[in-house]
A and B are shown apart, each in its own frame.
Chain A
Amino acid sequence: MKRLKSYNTDPWPARAYGFVMQAVEPFFSALQRRIGIKGMAYIFVAPNLIFFGLFVALPMALNVWYALSGSNRLLIQERPFIGLDNFRDLLDCESFLEVNSCRQDRFWRAVHNSVFFVALQVSVMVLLSVVAALLLNGKIRGRGFFRAVFFFPVLLSPVVVALIWKWTLQPDGLLNALIVWSGGERIAFLHNASWSFFWTVFVSVWSHMGFYTLILLAGLQAIPHELYEAAEIDGTSARRTFWRITMPLLLPTLLVVLILSLIRGVQAFEEVFILTGGGPGTATQYIVQYIYETAFANQVHLLGLAAAASLLVAVALMLLTLMQLRISYHGKDK
Chain B
Amino acid sequence: MTEVLAVLCMPLAGAVLLAIVGARSLGPLINVGASLATWLASIALTIRVAGTGPMLVADKLFFVDPFNVFLVALTAFVGFTTSIFSRPYMQIEQRHGRLTAARLRLYHSMYQLFNFTMLLALLTNNMGILWVALEAATLTTVLLVSLYRTPESLEAAWKYFILCGVGIAQALFGTILLYFAAEKVLGAGGDALLWTELNSVKGALEPTVLSLAFVFLLVGYGTKVGLVPLHNWLPDAHAEGPTPVSAVLSGLLLNVALYAVIRCKVLVDGSLQSLFAKELLMGFGLLSVVAAAFLLSRQKDIKRLFAYSSIEHMGIITFAFGMGGPIANFAGLLHMTVHSLTKSAIFFAVGHAAQKAGTQMIDGIRGLITVSPVIGWGLALGSLAILGMPPFGVFASEFLILTSAMREQPWATPLLLLALGVAFAAVFSKVQPMVFGEATVARLPHRPAMTPVFVHMAIVLVLGLWIPPFLADWYRQAARLIG
Say whether A and B bind each other: no
